[in-house]
């Protein structure tokens, strides 16, 4: 099997900041490991999705250090707000972004902040090789939907022709 770099928020294991996204990110890393992947886990400190310049530069250095041709699975909270750190690596490494919720959909954001995050996220996702979308299907529980970059990631766009969701596509993620 191949190697994958899983990049998650620095506080992913902090019990004081529980979130479904953190739980899901840890689970994906464990399951890729169980499938035989060599998983390099990276935690990046920062106030994601709007980090300081120093925090963004740290992510850029981490990504630049990944060997050419390897796969990087980035949590969307980390990746989507910082296209300046992520986009330059497109084509050199295989970028897969795990999107839990579009950044601009966060409740209570001022309109200008939401618009800025939306533009940043679109730039990041256009550069990604794949976009992984966490979703729930009633009969199967949590699963992945996988879409090439630039593809609509809503449920209807990821459904198979039969109407069922692609539950086993986690193996094809990377």
pLDDT tens by residue, 39-84: 999 999 999 999 999 999 999 999 999 999 999 999 999 999 999 9
pLDDT tens by residue, 117-145: 999 999 999 999 998 886 554 444 444 45
| Total domains in the fold of the chain | 1
pLDDT band per the 50, 70, 90 thresholds, residue 1: low
Cα separations (Å) of 154 from 8, 79, 115, 119?
23, 19, 19, 18
Which residues fall within 8 angstroms of residue 105, CB to CB, at 6 or more apart?
none
CATH number of the domain that residue 162 is part of:
3.40.50
pTM for the model stands at 0.78
């Amino acid at each position: 099997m191949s190697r994958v770099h899983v990049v998650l928020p620095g506080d992913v294991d902090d019990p004081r900041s529980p979130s479904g996204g953190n739980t899901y990110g840890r689970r994906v890393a464990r399951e890729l490991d169980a499938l035989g992947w060599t998983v390099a886990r990276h935690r990046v400190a920062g106030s994601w999705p709007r980090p300081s310049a120093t925090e963004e530069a740290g992510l850029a250095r981490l990504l630049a250090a990944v060997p050419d041709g390897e796969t990087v699975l980035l949590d969307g909270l980390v990746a989507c707000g910082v296209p300046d750190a992520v986009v330059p690596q497109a084509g050199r490494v295989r970028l897969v972004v795990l999107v839990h919720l579009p950044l601009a959909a966060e409740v209570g954001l001022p309109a200008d902040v939401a618009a800025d995050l939306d533009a940043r996220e679109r730039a990041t996702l256009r550069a990604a090789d794949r976009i992984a979308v966490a979703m729930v299907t009633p009969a199967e529980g949590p699963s992945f939907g996988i879409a090439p970059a630039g593809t609509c990631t809503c449920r209807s766009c990821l459904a198979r022709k039969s109407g069922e969701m692609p539950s086993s596509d986690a193996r094809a993620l990377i």
